[in-house]
Amino acid sequence: MQDTTTAHAPTSATGKARSGPLKGIRIVEFAGIGPGPFAAMLLADMGAEVITLVRPKQTPKGAAARGRTIIAVDLKDEASIAQVLALLDGADALIEGFRPGVMERLGLGPDAVHARNPKLVYGRMTGWGQNGPLAQAAGHDINYISITGALAAIGGADKPVPPLNLVGDFGGGSMYLIMGLLAALLEAGRSGHGQVVDAAMCDGAASLMTMFFDMTASGRWKEGRERNMLDGGAHFYGVYECSCGGFISIGSIEPQFYAQLRDLAGLGDACYDNHMDPANWPALKQKLTAVFRTRSRDQWSSIMEGTDVCFAPVLTMSEAGQHPHMMAREVFIQHEGHTQPAPAPRFSRTPSLARAPVTAELAEVVKGWTS
């Protein structure tokens, strides 16, 4: 977890010149929770100048605050609103995650902003979207993925299990917001006109389910859990407990990978021959459960890791940073005294940097952006 400035290694930076492919892009973020701050962090890692407006006495902390200039603003004060509008005059994009209508009531809605800065890309991050029957309802990640079909497909046979908040907040939220912002910025560079990006977590999570809707339509996916190849139903694609209480994962889908699994795990019995027949999966899962419990996680790693079994030990967050592959690629960094995931993806010529947040006064930044 070294602090390095090479083009191929993600780094942590304090007081270094801004770097990354988005250097020169200015973004104003209205502080929120979840997907908005994460999106702003990734954009800042990639070199964008991100100004985060927070409530007075609010101090964002942790990885989600890195790379930002933090400014305390009272959005109920008319003079402050005027300054924010002046700041937006010099911005390329905006990120906000309030309920629909809040920004309009503040006098900071798209019409007001575009009247002054027609080229600005206006990013709106919500759970339900800007319109629809649920647009004004409260919700969290678990609710947004519930109505997409995603949550119903994840978990054990007895009930769905929330996949952390990776599918709604960050996968269906932040990533789609970033994709929309960057696409709209490219288009604005050609047309000279900005637009509103309506990024809803339910939209993004539904989009992430595209392959599974396609597989359902073609008869290759059955509704319910642990009934399909990729949801824990297949014996060759899943997680198994070891003698030590730890877990391993295997994904031996292709015949050549399955053959190596059989070889290294000693699965010579003819019952393992037809591995793609779902009728065999429940019995073979029971057999493999017993096989993998005969050795510890580390013992199975010494046998299978690095082979074409498609194998990996299931590591905790505290263990992940010590794995040799993760260490070699510096996937984690020490940033402000804490272990954090490093910027991703990696750029060969314009490397990203994880920068410490700084605080500033709104008037100073407005002056810098307009001078």
Note the Cα 228 to chain centre separation in Å.
Answer: 25
Tokens for 6, please give them: 């090479």
Catalytic (active-site) positions: 140, 169
Q: Are 48 and 28 in contact (CB under 8 A)?
A: no
Q: Please state, in angstroms and rounded to a whole number, the distance separating the CA atoms of residues 260 and 164.
A: 32
- Per the CB < 8 A criterion, the answer to whether 346 and 338 are in contact is no
Residue 154 C-beta-side C-alpha neighbours within 13 Å:
16
Question: d(Cα 338, Cα 63) in Å, to the nearest integer?
Answer: 9
Are the beta carbons of 308 and 256 closer than 8 angstroms?
yes
